C-alpha cells in the first residue's frame, strides 16, 4: 500500500523536472517597431511631465519630440 503513494510522488517529481529542462527560445523577425511610451500636453501654467515604461528584448533608445504652436497674432507688451 505504501508503494503506490511513493510511485505517484516519483511520477509527479519527474514530470516537474522534465518540464523545467525543455528547450525554450524566442525569435524576432523584421524591424522592431517603436513604442509610444507617453504623450502629454501642457497644463494652464505651461508645465508638463512625461514618463513611460516598456518591456523589450533589446535596449531601448528613448526619444523626446516636442511640438509647439507660436501665437504670432498676440503682441507681447
pLDDT over threshold 60, residue 54: yes
What pLDDT does residue 46 have? 85
**Where is pLDDT greater, at 52 or 70?**
52
Q: Which residues contact 13 (CB under 8 A, 6 or more apart)?
A: none
Query: Chain-wide mean pLDDT for the chain?
Result: 76
What pLDDT does residue 49 have? 92
Nearest CA to 64 among 73, 77, 51?
Answer: 51
**Where is pLDDT greater, at 28 or 9?**
9
Q: Does the pTM exceed 0.85?
A: no
What pLDDT does residue 74 have? 62
Amino acid at each position: 500500500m505504501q508503494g503506490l503513494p511513493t510511485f505517484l510522488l516519483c511520477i509527479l517529481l519527474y514530470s516537474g523536472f522534465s518540464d523545467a529542462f525543455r528547450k525554450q527560445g524566442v525569435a524576432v523577425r523584421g524591424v522592431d517597431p517603436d513604442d509610444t511610451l507617453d504623450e502629454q500636453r501642457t497644463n494652464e501654467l505651461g508645465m508638463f511631465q512625461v514618463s513611460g515604461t516598456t518591456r523589450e528584448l533589446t535596449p531601448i533608445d528613448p526619444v523626446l519630440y516636442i511640438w509647439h504652436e507660436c501665437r504670432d497674432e498676440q503682441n507681447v507688451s
